[in-house]
A and B are shown apart, each in its own frame.
Chain A
Amino acid sequence: MIEIRNLEKSFGESKVLKGVSAVFETGKTNLVIGQSGSGKTVLLKSLLGIFTPDVGTISFNGRIYSDLTSDEKRELRTEIGMLFQGSALFDSMTVSENVGFPLRMFTNDDKHKIQDRVDFVLKRVNLIDAHHKLPSEISGGMQKRVAIARAIVNNPKYLFCDEPNSGLDPNTATLIDNLIKEITEEYNITTVVNTHDMNSVMEIGEKIIFLKDGLKEWEGTKEEIFRTDNVAIVDFVYSSNLFKKIREAYLKESH
């Protein structure tokens, strides 16, 4: 479980996070949604330790990040898997080398054991045939799956995903969403997904936090999104006619 309390972060004069508090539960896909500039990325980068919050605390299963020594912080980071928006695969390494990278860096396992684990996770993301290819030789969707494999190869306790299906076609996006949800349940990890894709919200959003102008505007489940009267989230989620009609149909059915 990750708990953030009263998180504030400014860049110069601009205050991006204005006191956000939230709990991201273990074994659930926690979604952070909001418009561009709402503070989602800053929140995620603060969780990852890339940005240091000005005020507030972040605790990982009771360990307050700011109280840890730099070695303890690095140790904690080995428990984190991260799926970057652009995949962030290492260009000079093959798919297999990319996935095995955390194991080579942080375990004393021999080559065969590492390869077995790499093959296992590549099978899990249906990419076993691509192990010898370079990232530039595979599609964007495949790169995302490789990045997921790399993120989970070390059995992380926390998985962070930044816009996991941006730039993907609807089929591949759904595949990635489902993969994240399945992995979260299978490995019982705390997953935080940063997105503004409403399909993801409807597919995998077990717990949703809506940020607006650096503040937590709303929190709930995907079912609660249909019933909420909060103007800000209704405007954001139902800005498309399709979702508006889905909501109307849902409300009609429930009455």
Chain B
Amino acid sequence: MLIRYLSQIGKYFLMWKEIFRKQTKWSVMRGLIFKEIDDLIIDSLGIVAFISFFVGGVVSIQTALNLTNPLIPKNLIGFATRESVILEFAPTFISVIMAGKMGSFITSSIGSMRVTEQIDALEVMGVNSLNYLVFPKLIAILLYPFVIGISMFLGVFGGYIATVYGGFGTSTDFIEGIQINFIPFHVTYAFIKTFIFGLLLASIPSFHGYYMKGGALEVGKASTVAFVWTSVMIILVNYILTQLLLT
């Protein structure tokens, strides 16, 4: 069992090496990168915006409902929403959701190419299939922090709308709350996490899709396994990075 896990980890790092060996022609690669930006980034914006707005709202409502002590200022709603959204919700929670959305898309699309011998066809033609399939995803995912930036903004905005229009606090209190004790490094920390989560989001599902064996049923299984491992790695790396960067 342990040997199998170690061998899989070794294979995963060898995959990284292979991705950067023998590059696909730039004129072809350019088109692939734009397609991946569309599939992975643009197509994720809708769901990210929706979730961020409403979860931001829920965070602020729950904070407001827990402020029973009249001595605690109302601007704490804005402060708590900002901290929760920027530090954890946008980079980590959204990445776990994206492990399901982007991850299963990546695993199933590469996995079905494996099942239908399309990857063999690429190899037989002399194409470095890992570079052709995975490299454009890695480049596209460099725009992932942009998605998380939108998520942060909409999360806080959702909190503002819920607070003000739900009657939990005033606009002035909320805006004051999101400005107090602001530590710019928290945003840097969030984007460092986001960048690393993005690489995990693109590479782990690609690994599971590329090296899968079997038929259509196994494509589904590989997607599930990829989601589980990507989520586990995101949570684990989140812990390590938090320990390294915030303590």
* A interface residue numbers (CB < 8 A to B): 48-50, 71, 74-78, 80, 82, 84-86, 88-91, 101-102, 104-106, 160
Chain A contact surface mostly: mixed
Is B123 located at the chain interface by the 8 A CB criterion? yes
Residue ID in chain A nearest B31 by CB atoms: A104
Residue ID in chain B nearest A83 by CB atoms: B121
Q: Which B residues, 103 to 136, have Cβ-Cβ distances below 8 Å to chain A?
A: 112-113, 116-118, 120-121, 123-128
Residue ID in chain B nearest A147 by CB atoms: B121
- Say which residue of B112, B116, B124 sits within 8 Å of A77 (CB atoms): B124
Query: In the complex where A75-B126, A77-B126, A88-B116 touch, is A82 in contact with B121 (Cβ < 8 A)?
Result: yes
Query: In the complex where A86-B117, A88-B118 touch, is A105 in contact with B127 (Cβ < 8 A)?
Result: yes
Query: In the complex where A48-B124, A50-B124, A102-B125 touch, is A74 in contact with B117 (Cβ < 8 A)?
Result: no
CB distance from B216 to the nearest CB of A (A): 12
B125 touches A84 (CB 8 A): no
Which residues from B are CB-within-8-Å of A82? 121, 124-125
Is B243 located at the chain interface by the 8 A CB criterion? no
Interface residues on B, range: 10 to 19
Is B14 located at the chain interface by the 8 A CB criterion? no
Which residues from B are CB-within-8-Å of A105? 24-25, 28, 125-127
- Say which residue of A75, A85, A90 sits within 8 Å of B118 (CB atoms): A90
Is B7 located at the chain interface by the 8 A CB criterion? no
Which residues from B are CB-within-8-Å of A104? 25, 27-28
Most buried by A among B24, B112, B116, B128: B116
A78 touches B125 (CB 8 A): yes
| Distance A102 CA – B126 CA, assembled complex (angstroms) | 9
CB distance from A19 to the nearest CB of B (A): 25
A91 touches B123 (CB 8 A): no
10 extra interchain contacts, Cβ-Cβ under 8 A, other than A71-B22, A80-B125? A48-B124, A49-B123, A75-B126, A77-B123, A78-B125, A82-B125, A84-B120, A88-B118, A104-B27, A105-B127
Residue ID in chain A nearest B25 by CB atoms: A105
| Distance A89 CA – B118 CA, assembled complex (angstroms) | 7
CB distance from B237 to the nearest CB of A (A): 32
Instruction: Name 14 interchain pairs, CB-CB below 8 A, sorted by A.
Output: A49-B123, A50-B120, A77-B125, A77-B126, A78-B125, A80-B126, A88-B116, A88-B118, A88-B121, A89-B118, A90-B121, A91-B112, A104-B27, A105-B127
